[in-house]
Structure 1
């Protein structure tokens, strides 16, 4: 446990340090902590949004029983709203904002650590940027696609945007998988062009 905490401390202390090398044992606890914090922030944003949506649906079902079907069972409760009622849909703007800001913060927090880990593998830190353009495109297009779909106004442009999103997501996953493979391999023994092996 002490080594785990020390690795996280080392990661935060090394935020501005892009030189040198880090072992996998130093990198992964820190990367895991940053990713966990990102998901906690996303969940903390999503829970009130969904809770508010469910509350609005309950009120609507009580006020318009002819337009809603409420099903109760042991340990279950569901509401089905009939017809198109966009006013009941969640406002996802706060969630998308947290996702965009959270991803930017996560990239900044991981940049130096990823660079040092890649150096340990004998690679330049620029390899760490491979998924970033696809991440930016996805975080820019997805809110637009979501709002367009939510409004029920599916146009040829919406379908084209969906195709672009699918292609972008595949490229993002492929570049992320490549980066993970590069980060997980064994470090080079002895000194390399980026310095001596990590302690």
Structure 2
């Protein structure tokens, strides 16, 4: 099969065998592009709904909102103390982000396994950044929840944990990318 992108999608569940760099990177690039496109569309839809709520609030409560409009610019400033002021619902945003990241991991899992096999490495190396991604998303959601609940004191311990976790995650991710980018083993190896 000459097209590495089609080959990648056809082999979504095949974790055995080997993929060369030329078979892996075009497929991985398309997966990244599709996931980021879907993320951009979902952000646009979420923001559009938020702006619609703000516009409706501004129209219903002109005393609690200031609208500035000029060619190429439109802004709404809302008094946050108003009891009916719209509050962004970040739950859908974060659930959508989690689903898209999960989709990307699932779409790339088999291809990463085969690429690591080409380097004569076990596929488990592909899991290196995953625990740190999960920890980071969980701690971030807890911090956001605390912020939205209006806690007077920010939790600097959790913030420090998130910061350190993200540093380790970046090191793990870069290490995995380097492993995937390096030349494969020459000839036969234990994976084919």
TM-score w.r.t. structure 1 length? 0.83
Pairing of 1:124-135 with structure 2 (within 5 A):
124-135=122-133
State which drifts further: 138-147 or 111-120.
Answer: 138-147
Pairing of 1:98-109 with structure 2 (within 5 A):
98-109=96-107
What's the offset of the Cα at 1:66? 3.9
Question: Which whole-Å CA distance do the structure 2 matches of 1:54 and 1:84 have between them?
Answer: 18
RMSD: 2.3
Q: Residue 42 of structure 2 corresponds to which residue in structure 1?
A: 45
Aligned residues: 191
Question: Which whole-Å CA distance do the structure 2 matches of 1:99 and 1:91 have between them?
Answer: 13
- Determine if contact 1:41/1:98 at 8 Å carries over to the other structure: no
Consecutive unaligned residues in structure 1, runs of 5 or more: none
- Determine if contact 2:120/2:191 at 8 Å carries over to the other structure: yes
Q: Residue 96 of structure 1 corresponds to which residue in structure 2?
A: 94
- Determine if contact 2:64/2:78 at 8 Å carries over to the other structure: yes
Question: Which whole-Å CA distance do the structure 1 matches of 2:82 and 2:149 have between them?
Answer: 9
Consecutive unaligned residues in structure 2, runs of 5 or more: none
* The one of 141, 152, 160 aligned to 2:150: 152
What's the offset of the Cα at 1:161? 2.2
Distance 1:175 1:64, change over 3 A: same
What's the offset of the Cα at 1:154? 4.1
Pairing of 1:18-167 with structure 2 (within 5 A):
18-84=15-81, 87-156=85-154, 158-167=155-164
What's the offset of the Cα at 1:163? 2.0
Q: Residue 190 of structure 2 corresponds to which residue in structure 1?
A: 193
* Partner SS, residue 88 of structure 1: coil
Distance 1:65 1:101, change over 3 A: same
What's the offset of the Cα at 1:124? 1.8
Pairing of 1:5-24 with structure 2 (within 5 A):
6-24=3-21
Question: Which whole-Å CA distance do the structure 2 matches of 1:159 and 1:57 have between them?
Answer: 32
